[in-house]
Amino acid sequence: MTIRILLADDQKLLRATFRMLIEATPDMEVVGEAADGDEAVVLTKTHKPTVVLMDIRMPRVNGLAATTAICADPSLSDTRVLILTTFETNEYVAQALRAGASGFLGKDVSADALLDGIRTVAAGDALLSPTATRALISRFLATAPRDALPGAIEELKVLTAREREVMSLAAEGRSNAEIAQFLVVSPLTVRTHIQRAMTKLHVRDRTQLVVIAYQTGLVRPQGT
């Protein structure tokens, strides 16, 4: 299935570069371009892309606000946002994740890494390394207001013991294969538990499960 991509960046030349790269890839196509966050939201509603490549610093409405608007819209539940920016600060990463982004890449990323990142996010997985998950989530998301994801604490009660266990391991930054090895089950079983937890908690992807795990205290930051 073709991955449909919306480019949101205020630099026209950069958008053109990304378009050339993406459209030269058989399983991807660009469905639109936005020069600011407001336009990104409008075009996302119009085109329903699989992935929005979103810059953070844009005029009028910035990428973080646009990401929040897109991720809060029920009609766009199948759209993922991948933040792509030159401002790779921990705080920006945390804000992007809290806004609902599924991943984060610097603009100095290689072409292959960018395309792989798009595929990862399009598949519903989080684009965060285990190291990034532990460091960023522990430092920032664990201290976010507990009402950042409404009803998250109460909703944990709907999960089975196994689903909570898998969610905890995912929050530690472990891949499905690593969780499967640890629990002595198949990777498909792990993915099923992840998907069921996402459905029960009404979240978009694995990244948001990790956020909930820390915010609710299911997993504690190291050293606490």
Please tell me the predicted confidence (pLDDT) of residue 89: 57
State the residue range of the domain holding 209. 147-215
The 3-state DSSP class for residue 167 equals: helix
Residues 151 and 59 in one domain: no
In this structure, are residues 38 and 10 in contact, taking their beta carbons and an 8 Å threshold?
Answer: no
Domain boundary among 58, 92, 127: 127
DSSP state of 184: T
Instruction: Provide the CATH number for the domain around residue 28.
Output: 3.40.50.2300
Residues 166 and 99 in one domain: no
Could you tell me the pTM of the whole model? 0.70
Please tell me the predicted confidence (pLDDT) of residue 77: 87
Mean pLDDT by 10-residue block, N- to C-terminus, for the chain (224 residues)? 95 93 95 96 96 90 92 91 72 74 81 89 70 54 51 74 92 83 92 90 80 78 55
Residues 35 and 85 in one domain: yes
DSSP state of 143: G
Instruction: Provide the CATH number for the domain around residue 169.
Output: 1.10.10.10
Residues 32 and 110 in one domain: yes
Domain boundary among 83, 98, 127: 127
Count: domains in the chain? 2
Please tell me the predicted confidence (pLDDT) of residue 134: 52
156-162 contacts, C-beta under 8 A, 24 or more apart: 156/201, 156/212, 156/216, 156/218, 158/200, 158/201, 159/197, 159/200, 159/201, 162/193
Domain boundary among 99, 127, 155: 127
Residues 210 and 116 in one domain: no
Please tell me the predicted confidence (pLDDT) of residue 162: 95
